Structure 1
């Protein structure tokens, strides 16, 4: 038996892929090649007639330069938050083994999953956290009286 049949979510995702493809000026061939599918099969994905695998969606997200979550952010029917597996409580930061390499780990994850604007915003936040954790006093030009501490 084949996988589950496609539904409105697949139509939504296919439309977003087609929209990003056109914005990026990419041909359909440029999307079909990394997926190793025919143009006909790609067309079925873009129309939502066939469901994309998670692996193929990841490949397309990378080709289009968006995080995989981009395809789900504006999903119809998701206006009301419902508890799910992703809503389980997060581990407390104090429980982590240590902060060594924190900034590097966040940077690697950001490169893999965020667009440029979000990477820049996250980078600023990580630098501030890293600075605070290192115990260095932040320089605030607006509030600096010029007197040494």
Structure 2
């Protein structure tokens, strides 16, 4: 089964490999041997005609003395990623008086995983549920006055 066809990203990576090889004064053989490929195959990688595997890219990064991420930095046409949840500033929910243990656990989880707007919304919902639950009596099966359909 053939892999995905090469595209502009492979051309970018191949050109960076070739540039680093020349800067380091390495021959093409010095790159082909650790990959266990022919010079012809190496040439296809350097031109971006064939896609490198993650393992081969790691091998080349080590030979060239760069981190694997070097090949992906400044990738043309690559949109910057939106910040992840852990990258956002985290404001804390205040556990108000009367919150149940469940509400405190939800507040702690929200502080860890949600952005500020969602934490505020969740806090309002949890407070409303907590107030509603505080007004109810504990469920007692023998005294259930609900319908018994």
Residue 69 (str. 1) matches residue 92 (str. 2): no
Q: Which runs of 5+ in 1 are unaligned?
A: 91-149
- Cα distance per residue 1:80-108 (max 9 Å; x no partner): 32349xx3537xxxxxxxxxxxxxxxxxx
Residue 82 (str. 1) matches residue 52 (str. 2): no
Q: Which residue of 1 aligns with 2:55?
A: 55
Within 5 Å, which residues of 2 pair with 1:86-97? Answer: 87=84, 89=86
Q: TM-score, normalised by structure 2?
A: 0.55
Q: CA RMSD in A?
A: 1.5
Within 5 Å, which residues of 2 pair with 1:1-12? Answer: 1-12=1-12
Which runs of structure 1 show a deviation greater than 6 angstroms over 4 or more consecutive aligned residues?
none
SS in 2 for 1:73: coil
Cα distance change of structure 1 residues 41 and 83 upon mapping to structure 2, 3 Å threshold: same
SS in 2 for 1:69: helix
Q: TM-score, normalised by structure 1?
A: 0.55
Quick one: distance in 2 between partners of 1:11 and 1:43? 11
Q: Which runs of 5+ in 2 are unaligned?
A: 88-149
SS in 2 for 1:61: helix
Q: Which residue of 1 aligns with 2:38?
A: 38
Q: How many residues align?
A: 87
The structure having more radius of gyration, on CA atoms, is 2
Cα distance change of structure 1 residues 88 and 5 upon mapping to structure 2, 3 Å threshold: farther
